[in-house]
């Protein structure tokens, strides 16, 4: 739970790195064409080797993935109506030869000034040569038939210097958008309970050792990875030291970056509804969407050319990147009538079935299957889909409120994707001028001082409330006893200092900004304050979500007494 300290109306920069500026004029006749190359790999049949202290090698199978082909097909469905050419490679089709030849065909079809889109969903990795020193690693993308135990198949990888070399080869001719839904190494933002984490899939083959440098007959040009290229925008699902998990999105495994990118290109990023997705709109939507889908577990990276090379640069945040044709219809939130997939552990099959029959809005999954919620009957703890502790001291009779809380948070998450209010946390030593940090999104202990920040509100009327992991609603703003004003300056970041207190687990703070007074919403939330009525809070909020002059944001906060 969160204890509000005092209200501070903050000053300073927005937490969003990019904001739309004056859009560059782009006449119909001069619009660049889009060409897309989309790659997705689920199935890996090879092994990776790791060198032992005696220089021998131990080999282990490359983990299989489940969501990368879903990613690829989702992106193709979104891009194909906009692109002059679209090429898809999946699973065994993704060889080093096919990757290079597909790139060359795309390039041959393009004209100077066209935009080239390349997306990759699959395993990344780090490799270490036989004479490498500590920290001397190459990042690589692992292709479907890669096997480091077999000299011919160990060539089935693409190094980051080679990717950079391809981009460098078209500098001055084309713009590049590169979407990499993979990770090379790293860890998760929050410590995951081992009872849940074993079932998660991450898009990395980890660190492996090779006997020789890459000597493939399929030659790809190379360029230093640190070289700043002014014609490239790079989207990654996480920071370089973080893992990228596969998530259940819309009932199937996917990567948060790929889903968010496809949704953005399909029109949901077009915030001003002019039929064009600019660089800033793409960046803002993807960053916000990934944080919502992963509950701030992932910290996506959208990298633009640095300021010192902007003179004469070929790609800018205010450039129009995707032309949608006619302005898209306003995206509507999905209805919140889906069942929460629930796993119950520490109970007999008969007990599991009996408990499940008492719950509304939940479906019991078989042991070992993906679940949105896992309840351990012996410890009375509830865990979310990523292994975070959602709530503690939960008896069987409390599960309905936890299920309702999960459904409410999922429904509100859909509302936030459509309306675009951004939220984040700050630790005492952090500044608004920096991007959201891994440290601020970690699990916080009792008494930790945090500052909740809401930006991009646009409208003056403001309401803030919290849904705890056990389903309790907390009304946070405006409070009559504190004589809070119902309106605040929409141009300044809103900052609310908070202290972490019991009960511990998952909190989700929801901010609502509106051009009109939110009297009914505020009255309802005051009535629900302190009650386990998350479903009613979400239902009341939904009445406002379709209003184009309402913006909604949500920030997950995870806490512990340990």
| pLDDT of the residue at 400 | 97
Spatial strand order in the sheet of 340-345: 362-364, 340-345, 373-376, 381-384, 389-391
Going by pLDDT thresholds of 50, 70 and 90, the confidence category of residue 419 is confident
Q: What is the pLDDT of residues 238-267, one digit of tens each?
A: 887 788 989 988 888 999 999 999 999 999
Q: 301 with 190, same domain? A: yes
Asked, for residue 350, whether it belongs to a domain, the answer is no
Which candidate, 264, 62, 245, places its Cα nearest to that of 150? 62
Asked, for residue 455, whether it belongs to a domain, the answer is yes
- Let me know: does 418 contact 332? Beta carbons within 8 Å: yes
How is 405-431 classified by DSSP, letter by letter?
Answer: HHHHHHHHHHHHHHH--EEEEE-TT--
Distance (Å, whole) CA 330 – CA 351: 45
Question: What average pLDDT does this structure show over 184-190?
Answer: 54
Question: 64 or 306: whose pLDDT is higher?
Answer: 64
Q: 105 with 6, same domain? A: no
Report the domain count for the chain: 2
Q: 447 with 315, same domain? A: no
Q: 97 with 244, same domain? A: yes
Distance (Å, whole) CA 417 – CA 412: 9
Q: Among 291, 323, 355, which residue terminates a domain? A: 323
Q: 7 with 95, same domain? A: no
Distance (Å, whole) CA 255 – CA 397: 34
Question: What average pLDDT does this structure show over 85-103?
Answer: 97
> Degrees (nearest 5) of the Cα angle 270, 338, 193?
95
| pLDDT of the residue at 22 | 46
Q: 142 with 216, same domain? A: yes
Going by pLDDT thresholds of 50, 70 and 90, the confidence category of residue 168 is very high
Going by pLDDT thresholds of 50, 70 and 90, the confidence category of residue 224 is confident
Residue recorded with tokens 């998760």: 188
Residue 20 has pLDDT above 90, yes or no: no
Q: 6 with 95, same domain? A: no
Asked, for residue 500, whether it belongs to a domain, the answer is yes
Q: Which residues of 150-184 are buried (b: 16+ CB within 10 A; e: fewer)?
A: eeebbbbbbbbbbbbbbbbebeeebbbbbbbbbbb
Regarding beta strands 494-500 and 506-514, do their DSSP bridges make them parallel or antiparallel, or are they unpaired?
unpaired
Q: 129 with 278, same domain? A: yes
User: Which two structure tokens, joined as six digits, stand for 299?
Assistant: 């910290």
Percent of the chain scoring above 70 in pLDDT: 86
Report the CATH number that the domain containing residue 429 is assigned in CATH: 2.60.40
Asked, for residue 24, whether it belongs to a domain, the answer is no
Residue 212 has φ and ψ, to the nearest 5°, of -135, 160
Q: Where are the alpha helices (DSSP H) in 80-228?
A: 96-109, 160-169, 194-197
Residue 161 has pLDDT above 50, yes or no: yes
**Residue 364 host element (H or E):** strand 362-364
Question: 42 or 15: whose pLDDT is higher?
Answer: 42
DSSP 339: P
| pLDDT of the residue at 130 | 63
Q: 450 with 317, same domain? A: no
Least confident span in 85-94, 219-228, 531-540, 544-553: 219-228
Q: 310 with 172, same domain? A: yes
| pLDDT of the residue at 138 | 81
Least confident span in 224-228, 294-298, 404-408, 477-481: 224-228
Asked, for residue 547, whether it belongs to a domain, the answer is yes
Residue 334 has pLDDT above 70, yes or no: no
How high does pLDDT run on average in the chain? 85
Question: 284 or 131: whose pLDDT is higher?
Answer: 284
Q: 213 with 289, same domain? A: yes
The torsion defined by the Cα of 517, 520, 521 and 522, in degrees rounded to 10, comes to 80
Report the CATH number that the domain containing residue 241 is assigned in CATH: 3.40.50.1460
User: Which two structure tokens, joined as six digits, stand for 78?
Assistant: 């979104």
Asked, for residue 197, whether it belongs to a domain, the answer is yes
Residue 339 has pLDDT above 50, yes or no: yes
Q: 312 with 449, same domain? A: no
Residue 519 has φ and ψ, to the nearest 5°, of -60, -45
- Domain range for 507: 2-11+419-560
Distance (Å, whole) CA 189 – CA 245: 11
Q: What is the pLDDT of residues 292-315, one digit of tens each?
A: 998 888 888 888 775 444 334 467
Q: Among 262, 297, 323, which residue terminates a domain? A: 323
Q: Could you tell me the CA-to-CA distances from 355 to 129, 359, 393 in Å, in that order?
A: 54, 7, 17
Q: Among 323, 352, 384, which residue terminates a domain? A: 323
Asked, for residue 67, whether it belongs to a domain, the answer is yes
Question: What average pLDDT does this structure show over 459-486?
Answer: 95
Asked, for residue 349, whether it belongs to a domain, the answer is no
């Amino acid at each position: 739970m969160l204890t509000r300290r005092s209200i501070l109306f903050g000053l300073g920069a927005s937490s969003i790195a990019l904001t739309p500026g004056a859009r560059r004029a782009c006449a119909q006749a001069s619009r660049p064409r889009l060409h897309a190359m989309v790659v997705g790999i689920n199935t890996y049949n090879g092994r990776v080797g790791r060198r032992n202290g005696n220089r021998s090698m131990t080999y282990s199978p490359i983990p299989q993935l489940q969501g990368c082909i879903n990613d690829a097909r989702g992106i193709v469905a979104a891009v194909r109506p906009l692109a002059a050419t679209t090429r898809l490679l999946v699973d065994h089709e993704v060889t080093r030869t096919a990757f290079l030849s597909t790139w060359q065909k795309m390039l041959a079809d393009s004209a100077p000034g066209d935009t080239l889109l390349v997306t990759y969903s699959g395993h990344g990795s780090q490799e270490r040569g036989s004479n490498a020193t500590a920290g001397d690693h190459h990042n690589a993308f692992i292709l479907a038939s890669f096997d480091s135990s077999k000299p011919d198949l160990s060539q089935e990888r693409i190094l980051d210097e080679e990717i950079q070399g391809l981009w460098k080869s078209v500098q001055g001719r084309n713009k590049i958008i590169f979407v990499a839904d993979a990770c090379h190494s790293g860890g998760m933002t929050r410590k995951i309970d081992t009872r849940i984490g074993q079932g998660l899939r991450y898009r990395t083959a980890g660190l492996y050792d090779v006997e020789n440098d890459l000597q493939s007959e399929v030659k790809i040009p190379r360029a230093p990875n640190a070289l700043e290229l002014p014609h490239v925008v790079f989207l990654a699902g996480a920071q370089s030291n973080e893992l990228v998990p596969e998530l259940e999105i819309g009932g199937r495994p996917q990567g948060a970056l790929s889903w968010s990118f496809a949704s953005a290109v399909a029109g949901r990023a077009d915030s001003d509804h002019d039929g064009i997705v600019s660089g800033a709109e793409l960046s803002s939507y993807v960053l916000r969407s990934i944080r919502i889908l992963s509950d701030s577990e992932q910290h996506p990276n959208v990298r633009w050319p640095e300021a010192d090379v902007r003179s004469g640069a070929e790609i800018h945040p205010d450039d129009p990147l995707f032309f949608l044709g006619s302005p898209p219809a306003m995206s509507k939130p999905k209805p919140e009538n889906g069942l929460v997939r629930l796993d119950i552990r520490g109970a007999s099959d008969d007990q599991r079935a009996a408990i499940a029959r008492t719950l509304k809005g939940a479906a019991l999954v078989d042991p070992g299957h993906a679940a949105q919620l896992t309840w351990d009957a012996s410890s009375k703890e509830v865990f979310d889909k990523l292994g975070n502790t959602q709530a503690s001291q939960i008896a069987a009779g409390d599960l309905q409120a936890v299920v309702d809380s999960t459904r409410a948070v999922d429904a509100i998450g859909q509302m936030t994707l459509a309306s675009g209010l951004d939220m984040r946390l700050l630790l005492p030593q952090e500044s608004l001028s920096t991007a959201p940090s891994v440290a601020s999104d970690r699990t916080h202990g009792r008494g930790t001082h945090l500052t909740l920040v809401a930006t991009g509100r646009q409208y003056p009327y403001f309401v803030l409330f919290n849904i705890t992991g056990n389903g309790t609603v907390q009304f946070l703003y405006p409070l009559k006893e504190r004589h809070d004003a119902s309106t605040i300056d929409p141009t300044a970041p809103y900052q609310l200092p908070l202290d972490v207190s019991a009960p511990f687990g998952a909190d989700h703070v929801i901010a609502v900004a509106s051009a009109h007074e939110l009297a009914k919403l505020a009255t309802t939330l005051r009535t629900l304050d302190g009650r386990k009525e998350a479903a009613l809070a979400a239902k009341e909020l939904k009445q406002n979500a379709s209003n184009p002059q309402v913006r909604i944001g949500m920030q997950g906060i995870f806490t512990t007494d340990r």
